[in-house]
Structure 1
Amino acid sequence: MKMAAGLLLLVCVGAVVHSARAQDSYRGLPGDYKKGVDLALEQLNTHPGVQHNFRFWRSVAKSDIESGFGVKYFYHQFYLKPTTCDKGATVSDSQTCPFRNDRPLIDCAVCYKTASDQIESSPKPYVHCMQRPRLTEGMRTARLEHCRQMNYNSGAPTLLAVSTGTK
């Protein structure tokens, strides 16, 4: 009986540490990358077909290019994981919601321009999120191409040429 209780305690501690590590992933993101994650979460939470609250899980790839005069272009691919909280929880509140493991991850890619540390409306920020099992290679290619075009149209060097993948 003591051994079973000890094992249960160990599993609980492991779950808390694992959850805290994921939470630290969001906290550890630079502010400009958090803005892109927050933008994706806001759009996801307003979509009528989405029934769960989501939280940042981890980065897959991210890159940025500074084009001068305080202007930067960002590309960030990341995973969002469903939580047990109700849909519509604020971004800051949802960072404490426990993850659920019975739903697929959402794979998101965002690209946007900032000036003076604010997301610019032109070119329009691009957010593409899809459940991982439904994300096709064609969708991946299309979203990368969209972000490349966004940078070329503005005369900036391409972000994806300097993309640094993190796994």
Structure 2
Amino acid sequence: MALLLLVVLLTAGVSPNDAQQLPDIYKKGVELALHQINARHSIKHHFLFFKAIHQAEIQAGFGVTYIYHNFYLKATTCRKGTENADTTTCEFRNDRPLIDCVICYKISAGEIGGKPYLNCIYRQVLSKESKREREIGCYQAGFGSLTPTPVAYTGS
């Protein structure tokens, strides 16, 4: 069932975008991932959003939307901690590996609700096992609650 849900999510919005075209509901997840990556002490260069790989959203009703977003982050020429970094002040480096991120979260009233699932890994070490872990992580982050469940009817 989780695999079927993931297939639906992946086929719902598969199109690469640049950062300027990214809708706000996806930007929130990217900002969260960038904050986490750029805060790691092992990271020496500032990372920025590079490219969206897969995007999907499910309208769950009552103003709640579930988001799935797979994207790349790329190292820049700027050192970690650079204020107001963007692609005009910090060029992308081509000698560093991409970071492949998946984030799944719920948005309600324009804010991320609950605990989002975030997994970022260097693209060259992404394996079938880590992809499966991502699938499970998204499922546990709330996507599992979107599966159809029988509703008891206690007719009068």
Fold in common (TM above 0.5) = yes
Residue 9 of structure 1 corresponds to which residue in structure 2? none
Q: Is 1:134 paired with 2:144?
A: no
Aligned-pair CA distance for 1:34: 0.5
Q: Take 2:117 and 2:93, find their aligned partners in 1: how far apart are those partners?
A: 27
Q: For residues 104 and 35 of structure 1, what CA distance do their matches in structure 2 show?
A: 23
Tell whether the 8 Å contact from 2:105 to 2:142 is kept in structure 1 after alignment.
no
Residue 107 in 1 paired to residue 97 in 2?
A: no
Q: 1:164 — aligned with what?
A: none
Aligned equivalent of 2:46 = 53
C-alpha contact 2:75 2:98 (8 A) present in aligned 1: yes
Q: Which residue matches 1:93?
A: 85
Give the aligned residue type for 1:66. Q
Q: Return the match for 2:69 from 45, 66, 76.
A: 76
Tell me, yes or no, if the aligned pair for 2:55 and 2:68 is still in contact at 8 Å. yes
Contact 1:62 1:74 in 2 (8 A): yes
Residue in 2 that maps onto 1:151: 142
Matched with 1:14 is none
1:62 to 37, 41, 55: 55
Task: Choose between structure 1 and 2: higher strand proportion.
Answer: 2
Q: Partners in 2 of 1:70 and 1:39 — Cα distance?
A: 21
**Structure 1 equivalent of residue 116 of structure 2:** 125
Give the structure with the higher percent helix. Answer: 1
- Secondary structure of residue in 1 paired with 2:78: coil
**Whole-angstrom distance in 1 between the partners of 2:135 and 2:50:** 21
Q: CA RMSD in A?
A: 1.9
Distance 2:27 2:82 in 1: 17
**Alpha carbons 1:151, 1:157 under 8 Å: kept:** no
Provide runs of 4+ in structure 1 moved above 3 Å.
Answer: none
Q: What's 1:4 paired with?
A: none
**Structure 2: gaps spanning 5 or more residues:** 1-15, 149-156
Contact 1:72 1:115 (8 Å CA) reproduced: yes
Counterparts of 1:88 and 1:66 in 2: how far apart (Å)?
Answer: 36
Unaligned segments of structure 1, at least 5 residues: 1-21, 159-167
Secondary structure, aligned partner of 2:18: helix
Q: Which residue of 1 aligns with 2:19?
A: 26
One-letter amino acid of the counterpart of residue 129, structure 1: C
The one-character-per-residue Cα deviations of 1:117-152 (angstroms, maximum 9, x if unpaired) are: 1011x2x11111111112222111111121023234
